[in-house]
A and B are shown apart, each in its own frame.
Chain A
Amino acid sequence: MTVKLNQVEPLTLQGQIAVPYTWWAGEVGSRFLIALRDEAKIIGNRCTRCNTVYVPPRKNCGSCFEDIDQFVEVSNEGIVSAHTVVRFKYPLQPANTPFAYALIHLDGADVSLAHIIKGDLDKLKNGVRVRARFKDRSERTGHILDIDSFQII
C-alpha cells in the first residue's frame, strides 16, 4: 500500500456510467407545473395553521408538520430578495453568462422562489420589481423553465 511509485506511472481510468432519472413531481408539484404549462400561472399553497403561503406549493408544512390543502394563485410579479450575477460558464446553466440567479418574493407568497434573470443586469438590485416572462405555449412542457426568466419592470 505504501510502495513508493517512483518507477511506475500512476494510471487513471476514465469512466462514466449513464444512470437516467425520472423524478415524480407528485400531485402537488404536478399541479404547479401543469399551471405553468397550461395557464402561465404560478400557484402556491397555504398552511392554514401558520398561514404561510409556499411557492412552489408543498404537500405539508415543514414547521407545523401538517398537510396543506389550500391552493392559492400568487402573482406573476414580485420583488427580488437576493440575487447574484453569474459570470462563470458551465454546461448546466440555463442561460448564457452573464445572467443572474434570484430569489423572488412574489406578491401573495410568504417565501421566495428561486429563478433566473437574464436582462437589465445593470438595473438589478434587491427590492427591484420583476415579472415572470413565460415561454410560448408550444414550448412549455410542465417544467420550472416554462418561465423563461423574470424581467425587471
Chain B
Amino acid sequence: MGSKHREIRGKNMARRVAIVGMGQTDHRSHRPDVNGREMIYEAVKRALDDCELSIHDIDAVIIGNMDHFESINYVDTWSVEGSGAFMKPIMKVTTGGTTGSSIAIAAYYHVASGLFDKVLAIGWEKNSESDTTAAIITCSDPVWDRFSYSGAIPSLATEASAYMKQYGATQEDAARVAVRDRTHALSNPHAHLRRPITIEDVMASPMLAHPIKLLDVCPRSDGAAAVVFAADGAAQKIAPRPAWIRACAVRHTYTWFGDVDYNAGLVSLQRASAEAYQRAGIRNPADEIDVAELYLPYSYAGLKWIEDLGFCGPGEGPGFIQDGHTDMGGKIPVNPSGGVISTNCIGATALLRVGEAAIQVMGKAGQRQVPDVEVALATGFGGCFWSDVLILGTTRP
C-alpha cells in the first residue's frame, strides 16, 4: 500500500492542484432523450452538485470529444449553454482516445498556471450519432495508412499477436481481463455494460481480427464526464479529502502505424509512466499505488500494458492477472469502475479514468471504493499508440 511520506521530486514551483469533484451521466448505447449539449449539462450539473459549487464559481472550462463522431465543428463554442461556459473562457482539447486525459492535464495547467482557481474539465461523446468505424478510419494518413491498415482494431490485433508470440500468452489469459473489468462494472451504477460475462462467453464471441473477439473489446457509448479541479487553498475548502495531482506526463509519439515496433511494448506508456513515477517519487508501482484506472480498450492491453507500467516484468502479465492481484481486494485493483471495456464514450473515457481514480482517493467511490487509497494511477490511450499518465494522491505535494 502507498507510503505517506514519499518525497516529491520535480521542478514544480507552480501551484498545487487537486480534483475536488466529479459527475458523469449514466452511460448507454443511445441517449435519445438529450442532444449533445444537454448530455454535457447533465454531467456538469452532477459534478457541481458533487462538490456543492455553482457554475458561477467556475473560472474556466475545457472540453473535448472526437469531432468526427458527432460532426460538430468548434465544439467549445457550440457547447456553451450546456458546458456552463457563458461569459467564461472555454477551449477545446482533442487528441483522439487520450482526449479525456489530455483535458484533465489541461485543467491541471489552467490551475497550476495561477490564472484560474476552479476549472471544469468536460469529456463527452455521442457515439450513437455516427458510424464509429467510418469516422475513426479518417484518423489514418490518407496516403499511406488509410487504405490498408486502419480503424481501431487492426493495429491492436497486431500488437496482441506479437505479444502472444513473444510470451506464449493465450486468448484465455486476455479473456480473464475482460471478465474482471465487466465484473467490476456491476458495482458502478454509471457503467454502460452491466451484465457479467465468463471466460467461455468471451471465447465464444465472434472473432473480429485475430486474436480479438467481440467481448475482448470496448463498446461505444453515449456519455459525458465532468471533473472539477481547484487550486491549493480553494481545494481544501471544497473537499474534505481533495485528490492532489502529483504528476502528469504524456507521450504522443507515432504518426504512422507502420512505424510502431510491435515487439517493443507500449513505448509511450513506458516513457510517460517513467516520467510520472519520477515526478511523484514512485519506485515500485505495484507496491506504492493503491488503485489503478487504466485505459484498456481491449483485453490484451490488460496483460501487456501493466508490464509497461512496471507492475510486473515482461511476459508476467498473465500470471499477475491470474493470481488476482488486479481484482478488488488484490494488491493493486485495476478498474474498479469497470474500465473502458464496460463503458466507452470516447471523449469522456480517459477523463473517467482520472475522475474514477480521483473519487477513489477522495473516498467517494461508494460500492466500488477500494479501502485506504492514498495513491491512485490513471492512464489514457489513443491515437497511434499514445499514452497519458496521471498520479493522484491524498498527500498535498
Contacts and interface: CB of A to CB of B under 8 A. Distances in A.
Q: Direct contact between A and B in the complex (CB less than 8 angstroms)? A: yes
Contact of B34 (A17, A19, A59, A61): A59
Q: Quick one: which of A15, A24, A28, A60 has the most chain B CB within 10 A?
A: A24
B141 to A, nearest CB: 11
Chain A contact surface mostly: loop
Contacts of B128: 22, 24
A20 B128 CA distance: 11
A58 B130 CA distance: 23
Nearest to A23: B129
Interface string A13-49: 1010111111111111100000000000000000000
A60 B41 contact: yes
Contacts of B41: 59-60
Contacts of A24: 30-36, 126, 128-129
Contacts of B38: 26, 28, 59-60
A19 B81 contact: no
B8 interface: no
Contact of B131 (A19, A27, A28, A59): A19
B129 A62 contact: no
B115 interface: no
A63 interface: yes
Given A13-B143, A19-B71, A21-B71, A65 B130 contact: no
B34 A27 contact: yes
A57 B175 CA distance: 47
Contact of B130 (A21, A28, A60, A61): A21
A20 B34 contact: no
Given A23-B129, A24-B34, A17 B143 contact: no
B131 A20 contact: yes
Interface string B96-114: 0000000000000000000
B8 to A, nearest CB: 37
A59 B36 CA distance: 11
Contacts of B81: 58, 60-62
Nearest to A13: B143
B35 A25 contact: yes
Contacts of B33: 24, 26-27
A115 B2 CA distance: 60
Given A59-B41, A60-B81, A17 B130 contact: no
Given A18-B134, A21-B70, A22-B129, A62 B143 contact: no
Interface in B33-48: 33-38, 41, 45
A49 B70 CA distance: 32
Q: Quick one: which of A26, A28, A61 has the most chain B CB within 10 A?
A: A26
Given A24-B129, A27-B34, A65 B71 contact: no
Interface of B: 30-38, 41, 45, 54-56, 68, 70-71, 80-82, 84, 86-87, 126, 128-131, 134-135, 137-138, 142-143, 146
22 contacts: A17-B134, A17-B137, A19-B130, A19-B131, A19-B138, A21-B71, A22-B130, A23-B36, A23-B129, A24-B30, A24-B31, A26-B32, A26-B33, A26-B35, A28-B38, A58-B81, A59-B38, A59-B82, A60-B41, A62-B82, A62-B86, A65-B45
